[in-house]
Homo-oligomer: A and B are copies of this chain.
Amino acid sequence: MSSNPISEPDLPALRRVGDFASLDEQDIALLRSCAQSPKYVQARRDLPANLFAARGAVLILDGWAHRSCLLADGRRQITGLLLPGEIVASSSIAGSVDSTVTAITPVNCCWLPENTVATRPNLAQALDGMRAMEEQSLRRQIVRLGRLDALERIADWLLEIYERLEASGSCIGDTMPLPVTQETIADVLGLTSVHVNRVLGVLRRENVLTVQGGRVIFLDRERCRSIAVRR
């Protein structure tokens, strides 16, 4: 954040892009111009599929979204969250099992055309970095679902969300927004909302953290980390 040339008044989302490569003024100007006329999507609405038709990427400027997969019998699994400053790569959408991206809160996003990005090597590098980061997040999620129990899953996941939100400056001290229902948390972590509720109760009673009013307050981050194993 120190050497990041994107200045204060810019959108947090743009600042986050700048964390992945050293952007010059032209890069930033290009980003700003893309963000100038954002596409607005209401909460609970899908991001329009035509947004992903061409090659390039969609950048989330503001708000939360998720990508989900609905099974025939109604079970749902959220395969990824999209937070401010993160991207939806178009290539990853085409022909995908789960191609719907849905806004959780109201979302502002914008289109970064590939041919434009390609002219700016640093921007292209930043997008590469963001894609790599997304892949890492997917693998971390696989470890969570495969080998962590409910308590560990929730602790570890909340810590990851914190890290990602912090990168766009969305956290305040030991506090972060979490504008999702327990049902949504359950669909991210492969649990039921009932069980999520119980586990959050444990974390609260143990003074590790509290979740209320759409925000998380970490009371004992260190203990939260020790609950969330990892190597």
A interface list, Cβ under 8 A from B:
67, 69-73, 75-77, 79-80, 89, 91-92, 94-98, 128-129, 131-132, 135-136, 138-143, 145-147, 187, 189-190, 229-231
Contacts and interface: CB of A to CB of B under 8 A. Distances in A.
Nearest to A79: B139
A141 B144 CA distance: 12
Work out how many copies of this chain go into the complex. Answer: 2
A142 to B, nearest CB: 5
Contact of A145 (B70, B136, B146): B146
Contacts of A91: 128-129, 131-132
Nearest to A145: B145
10 contacts: A71-B229, A72-B231, A77-B142, A80-B139, A91-B128, A91-B131, A97-B230, A138-B142, A142-B142, A145-B146
A79 B131 contact: no
A73 B145 contact: no
A167 to B, nearest CB: 14
Contacts of A129: 91
Contact of A143 (B97, B139, B147, B189): B97
A54 to B, nearest CB: 14
Contacts of A76: 147
